[in-house]
């Protein structure tokens, strides 16, 4: 079995995990709207870290789904 580090091949997620990812991304978008109210270097860093939250949460859910297939 070859390692797919960059996840070029996606496997469908369980419906509830796809919904969970969508919820997280929606909440991140809502927070981004609030962060857009102030323009500063610090706020840019906050938005970058918010993007990381979305990315890592999505990866965590996808890996969890993969490990817990029934």
Range of the domain at 64: 37-70
Q: Is 51 domain-assigned?
A: yes
| 23-31: Cβ within 8 A, 24+ apart | 24/53, 24/54, 24/57, 24/58, 24/61, 25/54, 25/58, 28/53, 28/54
Q: Is 63 domain-assigned?
A: yes
Q: Is 27 domain-assigned?
A: no
Higher-pLDDT residue of 22, 11? 22
Residues 1-20 have pLDDT tens digits of: 577 777 677 789 999 999 99
Q: Is 49 domain-assigned?
A: yes
pLDDT of residue 10: 76
Is 22 a residue whose pLDDT tops 90? yes
- Structural domains of the chain, count: 1
Q: Is 41 domain-assigned?
A: yes
Q: Is 44 domain-assigned?
A: yes
Q: Is 31 domain-assigned?
A: no
């Amino acid at each position: 079995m070859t390692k797919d580090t960059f996840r070029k091949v996606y496997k469908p997620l369980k419906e509830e995990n796809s919904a969970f990812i969508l919820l997280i991304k929606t909440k991140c978008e809502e927070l981004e709207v609030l962060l857009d109210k102030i323009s500063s270097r610090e706020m840019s860093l906050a938005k970058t870290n918010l993007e990381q939250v979305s990315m890592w949460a999505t990866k965590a859910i996808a890996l969890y789904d993969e490990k817990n297939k029934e």
